[in-house]
Amino acid sequence: MELTTEHESAAGGSGDKNPPLPGSRPLRLAVILGTNREGRFGPVIADWFLSRAAGHTDFRADLTDLIDIAELDLPTALSFRPAPAVRAELAKVTPRLAAADAFVVLTPEYNHSFPAPLKSLIDWHFHEWQAKPVGFVSYGGVSGGLRAVEQLRQVFAELHAVTVRDTVSFHRAGAHFDGEGRPKDPTEADAAAKAMLDQLAWWALALREAKSVRPYAA
Ligand SMILES: Cc1cc2nc3c(=O)[nH]c(=O)nc-3n(C[C@H](O)[C@H](O)[C@H](O)COP(=O)(O)O)c2cc1C
């Protein structure tokens, strides 16, 4: 496993580092599982990550929504006037993206990039991403999905989203989990997930507070 978290201070400390403002509503997190490949490893990563998010001070399991690309059937042909069937498909996901205060994208790496259906989901939307933070959990072969993440940062910048610095990255992912889907050595992965979620919550609260004072200048 390769973790991009480099600062001890970011990985350590208590979960109280981003206390919500008094009276503010808790954060809604959308976790996007970006693979629909047959026989995919992604659900193992998703189950592990959801347990990390549920254990984080700033996020709640009941307000964390797993959006699984495999459960959507969005066409690659975009349209400003989608057919009724496409509108019905969008209705399954668009309100969930709109409701989120923050996103975490779980992405494998395919041919030095991220999966095509993930790009389709991103491109079908615009305002839903705007002025919100995005964190990443990546996995793959030797690369740990890092090239997929760097490309996603460019895509999300165009959508006025803020990508958080620290990521979680598993290279040769299958080797890092046991048969029950648990990391064989959870220490580093848990610390990396906490660091990323700390930063994600900071940005989510900061952006929400800022938007409550002044509309985002898109
Ligand atoms: C079409 C394809 C291309 C891949 N390309 C890369 C790659 O460029 N770099 C890498 O590290 N791993 C690569 N891999 C390995 C995958 O990232 C790895 O198998 C991962 O578990 C795939 O995620 P999934 O099982 O959830 O679909 C590739 C796998 C596939 C199927």
Expressed in angstroms and rounded, the spacing between residue 141 Cα and the centre of ligand 1 is 6
pLDDT at 185: 87
Give the residue whose CA is nearest to atom 1 of ligand 1: 110
Q: Does domain 25-212 have CATH number 3.40.50.80?
A: no
User: Tens digit of pLDDT for each residue in 84-94?
Assistant: 999 999 999 99
State the pLDDT confidence band at 24, using cuts at 50, 70 and 90.
confident
Residue 125 predicted with pLDDT over 70? yes
Q: Which ligand 1 atom is at minimum distance from the Cα of 111?
A: 8
Expressed in angstroms and rounded, the spacing between residue 65 Cα and the centre of ligand 1 is 25
User: What sign has the CA pseudo-torsion 139, 173, 189, 42?
Assistant: positive
User: Tens digit of pLDDT for each residue in 154-203?
Assistant: 999 999 999 999 999 999 999 999 999 999 989 999 999 999 999 999 99
Pocket-forming residues, ligand 1, beta carbon under 6 Å: 35, 37, 40-42, 108-112, 139-143, 173
User: What end-to-end distance do the CA atoms of the chain give, in Å?
Assistant: 38
The domain locations on the chain are 25-212
Q: Which ligand 1 atom is at minimum distance from the Cα of 144?
A: 11
Q: How far is the CA of 35 from the CAs of 68, 76, 86, 127, in angstroms?
A: 8, 15, 20, 23
Q: Which of 137, 96, 97 is nearest to 114 (CA)?
A: 137
pTM for the structure as a whole:
0.91
Residue 27 predicted with pLDDT over 60? yes
Angle at 80 between CA 74 and CA 85, to 5 degrees: 40
Expressed in angstroms and rounded, the spacing between residue 109 Cα and the centre of ligand 1 is 5
Q: Which ligand 1 atom is at minimum distance from the Cα of 171?
A: 11
Give the residue whose CA is nearest to atom 11 of ligand 1: 141
pLDDT at 7: 35
Q: State whether residue 163 is helix, strand or coil.
A: strand
Structure tokens at 218: 């898109």
Give the residue whose CA is nearest to atom 22 of ligand 1: 108
